[in-house]
Structures are given as C-alpha cells and as structure tokens.
Amino acid sequence: MTKQDEKTNTAWYIGAKRDQVGSGAILVGDPARIGRIAEHLTDVEFLPENRGLRTVTGTRNGQRITVSAFGMGAPIATIVLHELFALGVRSFLRIGTAMAVPPAKLGDFVLADGALRAEGTSNTYAPLGFPAMADFELNTTLRQHLGRSGRTWHAGIYGTYDGFYTEMFGLSGQSRAMIDTLKQDIQRLGLIGTDMETSALLVAARVLGASASTLCVATVDAFSQEKIDDAAMAVAERELFEVALDSIAEFATKKNEVTS
C-alpha cells in the first residue's frame, strides 16, 4: 500500500478504507461533481472529506463504483489514483472538461486513446519514451456506449500540460503569443484536446498495473477561447455521467469475471 495510517488501514489523503471503495473508479476534478454524479448511483456512501478531496461510493448496474474528486493538476490526480489502486481499485476513468481542438466542437465528447506527456508528473512513474496509452478494452467499452449516446464524439490523442495560463489559456500579451505557438504544435500533431491530468493518469495506471482512460466534454475552444455556456454544460455533464458510469460498471464487471 501507499503511505497509510497503519492502525486504521486508511488511505492517507483520500481517507478511504478498502471496504469503502468499489472495483472501478471515476476520477473527477471539480468536487462539486461528486454530489451531482451521486444522483446517478444507488446505495450511496459519502466518505468524509479530507483536504478538499471528496469521495463517494455507490452502485451502478450491480457494481460498486467509487467517484473521487482530485481538484486540478497531475500531481494530486495521480495521488488519488495511486491511493485507490492501493485499496484494490483496478479500473479508472477520468471524466471532466477539456479544451477542444477542431474538429471537436463545444459540447462534443472527447475520448483519449493516448496523450502527449507534456506534464512533469508522469516522469516519476516512467521515462518519457514510455507511451501514455488508454486501456484498449476500456476504450472499446466506452466506444460502444458513446455510439448509443447520441452525442457527437471524437477519439484521439490528448495533450496534457501543467501550465494552465502559460501553456493552455492565454490571458493577455506575451503568454497569449506563446500559447498560439503551442496551438500550432497541437494542430501539427493532430491532438484532439488538452487537459492537465490525462497523460499522467494513463502512465501511472499502466505502470501500476491498472486500466485507465479519459472521457471529457469539450468546454473551451482552443483557438477562439470561447467557453461552453452553463446550460449546455449541465446537459452534457449529465450525459457524460451516464456514459461513464455505464462503461466503467460494465468494464469492471468483465474484469472481475476474468480475474475471479
């Protein structure tokens, strides 16, 4: 196990015990999503919040699923994944928001088949030559559910960066110019979206021996910096929860059947 309270056998930062987590986990950034996604689960148990890290476990299609909110950025996202792994979770899906690159439009879903490792955290799990790849079987399951969702979706390579205002979203002046340069690279490499966690989560999961992927709503246009409106986001988020929960529950069930 990772560093835990030896006496209570509780994960250090997320404050969960082994019997409080499911076989699959969804990782969200915004803690406010925990209450909203819990409405899509039954037999819900909210775990005590620690350091702003909020976790809930509930049932979806007969499978116990844990949803943890990590906040923002790769270092804390991998801490949460690592602790859940130590508690026995082997299937992970990050869901949330990503900056979109055409042809994705605001409100579309973007599925990561892999990610450019432009963040620093994944280097602590594996050298840069190691690819950040999503789990093929999990993405097959996701593709099936996405196909039935009715929402437009795209699959491809994400770019994952540490510097929100220096690499992804320009406020003004010089940083804006630098970001435009980066966006040309994004276009040249054919990335479908950018975020701050995916490549680190994919590498960490793969090295630890777990399955992982990312499915996000495109919420910011990388070129115009236009943002999705709140009403459209609320609808997209509910659909994202449905696709994500059905997919991870089905995948975790299949995985359990294979390993048991």
Ligand X SMILES: O=c1cc[nH]c(=O)[nH]1
- Contact residues toward ligand X (CB under 6 A) are 97-99, 168-169, 194-196, 219-220
Q: Is 135 in the site for ligand R1P (CB under 6 A)?
A: no
Q: Is 243 in the site for ligand R1P (CB under 6 A)?
A: no
The Cα 47–Cα 27 span in angstroms is 15
Interface residues for ligand R1P in 212-231 (CB under 6 A)?
A: 216
**Shorter beta-carbon distance to ligand R1P: residue 91 or 97:** 97
The Cα 256–Cα 237 span in angstroms is 28
Q: How far is the CB of 188 from ligand X (least distance, A)?
A: 20
From ligand X, ligand R1P, none, which one binds at residue 29 (CB under 5 to 8 Å depending on kind)? ligand R1P
Q: Is 219 exposed, middle or buried (0-12, 13-18, 19+ CB in 10 A)?
A: buried
The Cα 194–Cα 186 span in angstroms is 9
Amino acid, single-letter form, for residue 250: E
Which of 10, 63, 97, 122 is in the footprint of ligand R1P by CB under 6 A? 97
**Shorter beta-carbon distance to ligand X: residue 101 or 248:** 101
Q: Which residues of 163-198 are buried (b: 16+ CB within 10 A; e: fewer)?
A: eeeebbbbeeeeeeeebeebbeebeeeebbbbbbbb
Which stretches of the chain bind ligand R1P, using CB under 6 A?
28-30, 72, 96-97, 164, 195-197, 216
